[in-house]
Structure 1
Amino acid sequence: MDNLNVLGTSNRVTLRWVPGHSGIDGNEKADALARRGAETPDCGPEPFCGIAKQHAYSILKIHCNRQALQEWQSTSGQIHSKALIKGYRKKFTKELLQLNKYKTSAVTRILTGHCKLNKHMFTLGLSQTAMCRLCHETEETAMHILCSCGPLMHRRSIYLGQHIMQPEEIQMLPAQKIWKFLESTGLSGEL
C-alpha cells in the first residue's frame, strides 16, 4: 500500500478489478500469494481464532448481552422493575441520556417503582394510604399509573398510544414518550 501511495504522488493511478484466474500475470501472482497465505498455518497466541475482528466483537457483544439479560432475569426481587424494564436496550439508554437530569431521573424512578407514589411512600411509612389519589380504586403504583389508572386513560392514549397498556408494551416505549406522559399527568413532581 505504501508503494502505491508513493507511486500516486507523481502519477495518476487507476485501480481496476480483475476476475480471479484470468491469466493476467499480476493477478496470477496475487492468486498464488493468497493461496499460500490460506495454506500457511495460523500463528499467534492460542487459542487462535481465524475470523474477522468485527465478527469476533459481534459474537462477544451478543454473548455479553445474553449473559446480562440472564443475570437480570435471575436476580431475586425487583418485581416492579422487571415488569417494566425488559433488560438492557441500547436505543432506550441513548434516548434516556438525551433527556435532562430531571427528566431522566423521573423516568428512571417510575420504571423502577422507587418514587413518591402512595404505595411506595406507604411501604416506607411516609403516607397514610397506598390507594391511588386519582381513581381511589387500587394501590397507587408506578405500574398502575403507567398501565391502567382510569382517570389517565385519555392521556395514556394520547402520549403512549393506548388507553390501557400491558407492562410488556411499556418496556418497548421510547423514554421521551414516557416522560411526556408523566409530565401531562401532573405527577412528574411526585417522582
Structure 2
Amino acid sequence: MRNLTLDGVAISVATEVKYLGLTLDSKLLWRAHVDAVTSKATRAMMVCKSLAGKSWGCTPRILRWMYTMIVKPIVTYGAVAWYSRATIGTVRQTLSKIQRLACVCITGAMRTCPTAALEVILELEPLHLSIEQAAKRTLLNFAREGFGKGKVLSSRNRDKLGTQPPPTLKLSVSLGTFHSIFQAEVYAISMCPEINIRRNYRKERILILSDSQAAVRALSSFEIKSSLVRECVERLNALAEVNDFQLMWVPGHMGVAGNEEADHLPRTAASSTPIGPDPFLAVGPNTIKEMLRRDNSKLRELHWLGTMGQRQAKSLLGGYNLSRYRLLMDLPKEKLRIITGFLTGHCKLRGHLHKLGIWSSDLCRFCDAAKETPLHLLMECDAVARRRYRSIGHVWPREEHIHSLSPGSIMKFIDTLGLVDVL
C-alpha cells in the first residue's frame, strides 16, 4: 500500500485509533476499548469509594446514585457500537468486577459475598445487560424522526360549548395490544374529522371534545414528531378549511354530553378482537421503552435464577424486589451491612466462619443440632421459635414469607437473638 501523505507529511498506519471516545482497532475486536473503559470506570469508582467509610461519608443511597450516574455511563457510552463484545464470557467477568466493587462499597458486605446476590439487593441488573439495554435505546433514538410542523385551532373556553345535543354516532375500534393510551386518544380524535369529511360537511360549526390534555397539547404543538399526530393534524386542518371548527379540551366526569359514553366505549373495544394485523398502529417510542424495560426485567431474573450456587441467598431473597430495595436504602450503613450479610448468608455466623476456617465448629449456638446459617435461624431452629414468632409473626415461616419480610422485621429478629454485635 502506498504511503499516505497530508501536506507533504507522511501519515503512519496505526493499529488503534480513538474516535469520539471509542477506541477502534484494526480488527474491530474492541479489546482495547473494553480495557480502557474498565480502567476508567474503576478509577471513577475508587474516587466515589473514597467519599465514604464504614461509619462516615455518603449514605448508601448517594453511593448508588454516584455509581449509576457517574460510573455506569462511562461503561455504557457508545454501547450501540460494541455491545456484542459484552456478550463474551471473559468480557462479562471483567465488567462484573466494576459492579462488584460498587456493590461492596454501597453495602459494606464481606468480600466473599456473591456479586449476583448484591445486585438483587441493590436493584442493579448485570452490567452486560445494562450495555445491551443502552444499545437498544440508542437504536430507538436513531429510529425517531420528526415530521415537520403543524398547528390546530384550539380553545378552552367552555362557555362557547353551550348546550349541545349528545352525539348520535357511537364508534369503538380495537387497536390491538401494542398501542399506548396517548395513541388511542389521538386516533379517536383523528376519526372525528375523517367521518365529518366523508359526510361532506360545509360551513358547519363543528366541536371536537377530548378529555386528554396530552393529546390536545400534542396536536397544538408547533413541532410534531409523530406520524399519527401529523396525520390527525392534517385531517383537522382539512376539516377547518371549509367549516367553523374547534378542538376543545374538557375535564372528564363533569357532565359533558357524550363524555361518559366515550369512556365506556374503549372498554367495549378492548374486549373485542382487532380486525387486521397487529400492531394496528405504529408502535410508539414509549411503548417500545416499556417493552425493553420488561424484557430487561425478565433477563435479569433469568440471570439470577441461572447463577450457580447461592442456595441461601436465593431462598432468602427470592428475586428482585423494588419495595425491599427502597427500604434498605433508608437504613444506616451499619444496619444495611448486617442485613446484607444475613440475607446472603455471608456473615459472621458460625456456619460461614467455619467454612472460612476461622471457627472450629459450625453448629448453631442456640440448638447445637444443625449448621448455624441465616436460613436455619429464620426457618428451622426450634430453640428460637418463640422469638421468631414475636419478631416476624411466624413460627415456621416458608420461603414466600421470608421474601415478603421488611428489613425492619429482619433487623428486629437479629436484635432479639442478640446477634447485632456478633454480625
Measured against the shorter chain, the TM-score band is: 0.7 to 0.9
- What is residue 50 of structure 1 aligned with on the other side? 283
CA RMSD between the two structures: 3.3
User: Quick check: 1:37 aligned with 2:231?
Assistant: yes
- What is residue 123 of structure 1 aligned with on the other side? 355
Separation in 1 of the partners of 2:349 and 2:293?
37
* Unpaired runs of at least 5, structure 2: 1-150, 168-191, 197-203, 210-218, 220-227, 235-280
- What is residue 321 of structure 2 aligned with on the other side? 89
CA drift at 1:59: 2.2
- What is residue 368 of structure 2 aligned with on the other side? 136
- 1:17-36 superposed matches below 5 A: 20=192, 24-27=205-208
3-state SS of 1:151 partner:
coil
Separation in 2 of the partners of 1:36 and 1:125?
70
Cα distance, 1:150–1:35 mapped onto 2, change above 3 Å: closer
Structure 1 counterpart of 2:398, from 163, 166, 173:
166
User: Quick check: 1:14 aligned with 2:157?
Assistant: yes
| Greater Rg by CA | 2
Cα distance, 1:36–1:69 mapped onto 2, change above 3 Å: closer
* Unpaired runs of at least 5, structure 1: 8-12, 41-47
Cα distance, 1:57–1:155 mapped onto 2, change above 3 Å: farther
3-state SS of 2:289 partner:
helix
3-state SS of 1:111 partner:
helix
- What is residue 339 of structure 2 aligned with on the other side? 107
TM-score normalised according to structure 1 size: 0.76
3-state SS of 1:87 partner:
coil
3-state SS of 2:383 partner:
helix
Structure 2 counterpart of 1:154, from 381, 386, 406:
386
Give the residue type in structure 2 aligned to 1:154. R
CA drift at 1:58: 2.7
Given that residues 99 and 176 in structure 1 are in contact (C-alpha distance below 8 angstroms), is that contact kept between their aligned partners in structure 2?
no
- What is residue 45 of structure 1 aligned with on the other side? none
Given that residues 115 and 190 in structure 1 are in contact (C-alpha distance below 8 angstroms), is that contact kept between their aligned partners in structure 2?
no
Cα distance, 1:148–1:62 mapped onto 2, change above 3 Å: same
Separation in 2 of the partners of 1:144 and 1:35?
60
Q: Give the structure with the larger strand fraction.
A: 2
Alignment coverage as a number of residue pairs: 172
CA drift at 1:181: 1.1
